[in-house]
Amino acid sequence: MKAFRLDELEAERAANEGAYLQFLRERNMSVGLYALNAGEHDPQKPHNQDEVYFVVSGRASITVGLETTQVGRGSVVYVPAGVAHKFHHISEDLRVLVVFSPPEA
């Protein structure tokens, strides 16, 4: 078993001064913590993997392809591989668990 605490992951991510911290990588998936602060720009480009976002905290909009929705704590969003997507209008610091399948390259 592998177990993680979000507060420890957030501290590690912040210490590494990056928006993304991959903390689990297995044969069929990887998981990371993604952070964008209020007002920040999301620089993502489409990925070669399917991904699922689980919003841990914060508020924003996300556009996936041509669809846009509001997200907040507890929101879950699926993004198919190769589809353009971005968080925007981030009104509260956003913390998101990201699951990639297969694992992110």
Condensed to tens digits (0 to 9), the pLDDT of residues 70-94 reads: 999 999 999 999 999 999 999 999 9
Within a domain: 1: no
CATH number at residue 69: 2.60.120.10
Whole-prediction pTM value?
0.94
For residues 1 and 92, give the distance between their C-alpha atoms in angstroms, rounded to a whole number. Answer: 33
For residue 43, the 8-state DSSP code is: -
* Count of the separate structural domains present in the chain: 1
In a domain, 12, yes or no: yes
Q: Quick one: pLDDT at residue 97?
A: 98
Is residue 63, in this structure, part of any structural domain at all?
yes
C-beta of residue 96 within 8 angstroms of C-beta of residue 60? no
Q: Percentage of residues in the chain with pLDDT exceeding 70? A: 100
Percentage of the chain modeled with pLDDT above 90: 98
The answer to the question of residue 30 being in a domain is: yes
Q: Assign 105 a pLDDT band (cuts: 50, 70, 90).
A: confident
Q: One-letter amino acid identity for 45?
A: K
What per-residue confidence (pLDDT) applies to 100? 98
Tell the residue number behind the tokens 């297995």, with chain if given. Answer: 26
Domain with 62, as residue range(s), is 6-101
Residues in the chain: 105
In a domain, 66, yes or no: yes
In a domain, 81, yes or no: yes
The DSSP element (H or E) to which 20 belongs, if any, is: strand 20-25
